[in-house]
Amino acid sequence: MLLVFPSLGLNMFSPKNILNFADFLYEQKDYLRASGEYLRYLYGGGKKRKYAWKMAIWSLYKANEAQKAWQLSQRALQEFPHDCEIGAMAVLMGALSGEGKPEPSQCGLIQQANAFFWVRQGRWLEAEKELKTSSPFSFFLKKEIEKRKKLGWKSPWKAAFLSAILPGSGKIYAGRWKEGVYSLFLVGVSGWQAWRKFRQGKKGWGYFYAGMSLFFYVGNIYGSAVAAKIYNRVWDMQINREIIIAFPMVFGIR
């Protein structure tokens, strides 16, 4: 067919059709192939270059290739060094991949991406300082940051210290009151049994229960610190997820 209708073959590989095919693959959630097609469009001299760069970067992220997406955003910046959207996307991918850093800018979109970068670090005050614009997304980010601040940041050291003073209190501080009461029960009962056996002159059993009590006591301190870290991680992941879902709309990405 290509021999009989050579114009058909040329049309199939035109930049317009390559871009349409890339969009089709993206809609089908074939993100890795979609990214390759967007890049092919760019190498073929397509005119919608900023759109193709944005979609290629976001497709890689959707394919769970955040680090490659960040690397690709650095290449896009070489072509669009002063573009607000590409710059913001580079900061965003840097935050999602653990690479890069915030970029000082007067551009509101980059400031919002910087705020997200600090949110990822759990540094809420720095995030708030970046939100100087009054855009709808800035308002949304401010609400998410306020939500996280109200939930509170649980200190693992404080949780461990509390449980060292009163077993289980660190877990209650970390929002796990049932586990806290259980830890207090285990340490208290085993300690009481050790005291009881020593009073009865049964030193072997006394040492056994004392060892159990010490084991539960140390475990309760360590467990309290872990519980505080898990509390922070769970809420941070939830807030981050909500922001990531909303962020593509800022760039005009579905």
Domain ranges of the chain: 156-231
Residue 254: its pLDDT value, please? 66
Question: How far is the CA of 148 from the CAs of 82, 132, 170, 231, 242, in angstroms?
Answer: 32, 19, 20, 12, 12
Q: What is the pLDDT of residues 53-73, one digit of tens each?
A: 999 999 998 899 989 999 999
Q: Comparing 132 with 92, which gets the higher pLDDT?
A: 92
Residue 51 pLDDT class (50, 70, 90 cuts): very high
Q: What is the pLDDT of residues 69-102, one digit of tens each?
A: 999 999 999 999 989 889 988 998 888 888 888 8
- The pTM score is 0.67
Residue 12: its pLDDT value, please? 63
Q: How far apart are CA 27 and CA 15, in angstroms?
A: 18
Q: What is the pLDDT of residues 223-253, one digit of tens each?
A: 999 999 888 888 877 877 777 777 777 776 6
Q: Dihedral of the CA atoms 196, 202, 208, 210 (nearest 10)? A: 40
